[in-house]
Structure 1
Amino acid sequence: MKEDYSLDTVKKIFTQFLAERKHRKTPERYAILEHIFSHEGHFNAELLYNAMQKEYRVSLATVYNTLELLLDSRLIVKHQFGEQVAQYEKTFGNTMHNHMVCTKCGKVKEFSDKKIRAAIQSKRFVHFESTHYSLYLYGVCSKCKAELNKKQ
C-alpha cells in the first residue's frame, strides 16, 4: 500500500538515523538518498553508481556503504530475485507489495492484490505483530511462455 510521503520526510528520518548512530551526514549520502527517492522501480548498486557518476563524484564503496545505512534505517529493502544480482527498492511509503519474477528472463513485475493484502492483514500471529510484507511469485512471464511454446 503506497502512502503519501515527501523527500523532506525521508531526509528527516535518515538524518535522525545517522545522528542516533553517530554517522556522518555527508552530501554524498544525501545525494544517493535523493536519487533513490526521485526514481521509481528496482535498481542494483552498479546502476545506482553509474547514475550517480553523471552528477556526483561518489565511489562504489560509498554507494554500497550508503545502501547498507538505508537498509538499516528501513528506507529501502534488498531483494534477491533468483540468481540475479541483488536489487534494491525504496520501501518508505510502500509497505505492502508483491513481485512476480520470471525464472527465464529475470523480469520482475510488481502487482497489488486486495485479497492477498486483506488475508495477510487479517491474519493474527501468536507473539508476532506484522508491520509489512513482500511476496514473491516465481514463474514464467507471458513473453517467455510464448517463446517456449514456439520451440515445442
Structure 2
Amino acid sequence: MKSARQVFMEYLGDNGMSMTHQRRVIVETFLESEGHFTAEQLYTRVSSQVPDIGQATVYRTLKLLVESGLADAFDLGEGVTLYEHHYGHAHHDHLVCVECGRKVEIVDETIERRQAAVAQEHGFTLTRHRMVLYGLCPGCSGTG
C-alpha cells in the first residue's frame, strides 16, 4: 500500500501541480492530526508553524486532500464542515451530539448490510455512503 504522502504527490503530478512548501506543511500537519477537525482548527495548527500562510491556502489544500482520497469531509450543518483521514482508515459512521458537539465513530455491520439491501431494493449499486446520526449524548441528555 502506498503511503498517504505518495498518493498525494501522485495526485498533484497527475493534475499538473507541485508540492509547495506551504502545501507540504499543511499536508504534514493534516496527516499528524487524528480525529475530526475544522479547516479553521487546521489553519491554527499550521499558522503556528508558518505564520505567513493564508487561510485560503489551507482551504484549497484541504480540497485537494479530499479530491485525492486522503481526507473525508462531512457537513454538520450550520456551515460547519469537519475533516478526517480517509486513506487507509476503515469505513465508519458517526453519532454527533447537537448540544456539545461530541462525535463518536461507529461501525455496525447490521446497519451496513441494511443500507446495501435498501440500495439494492431500489436498483442502486452503492459506491460510497455516509451516515451521521444527530442527538444528545448521555452527558447532555442527563442519562450519563
What residue is the counterpart of 1:30 in the other structure? 24
Task: Report the CA distance shift for 1:127/1:114 in structure 2 as closer, same or farther (over 3 A).
Answer: closer
Structure 2: segments with no counterpart, 5+ residues: none
TM superposition shift of 1:94: 2.2
What residue is the counterpart of 1:47 in the other structure? 41
Number of corresponding residues:
140
One of 39, 64, 69 as aligned partner of 1:74: 69
What residue is the counterpart of 2:136 in the other structure? 140
**What CA deviation, in whole Å up to 9, does each residue of 1:60-110 have, x standing for no partner?**
111011011111112111111132521111111224101001122222221
Q: Secondary structure at the match of 1:86?
A: strand
Q: Does structure 2 retain, via aligned residues, the 8 Å contact 1:32–1:66? A: yes
The one of the two structures with greater contact order (alpha-carbon pairs below 8 A, sep at least 6) is 1
What does 1:59-98 correspond to in 2, within 5 Å?
59-83=54-78, 85-98=80-93
One of 82, 102, 107 as aligned partner of 1:107: 102
TM-score (norm 1): 0.79
| Identity percentage of aligned residues | 31
TM superposition shift of 1:129: 4.5
- Bigger shift: residues 137-146 or 87-96: 87-96
Q: Secondary structure at the match of 1:88?
A: strand
Q: Secondary structure at the match of 2:19?
A: coil
Task: Report the CA distance shift for 1:128/1:51 in structure 2 as closer, same or farther (over 3 A).
Answer: same
CA distance in 2, matches of 1:137, 1:123: 18
What residue is the counterpart of 2:125 in the other structure? 128
Q: Secondary structure at the match of 1:134?
A: coil
| Aligned-residue RMSD, C-alpha | 2.3
Q: Secondary structure at the match of 1:77?
A: strand
Q: Secondary structure at the match of 2:76?
A: coil
CA distance in 2, matches of 1:50, 1:129: 37
CA distance in 2, matches of 1:100, 1:89: 15
Q: Does structure 2 retain, via aligned residues, the 8 Å contact 1:18–1:24? A: yes
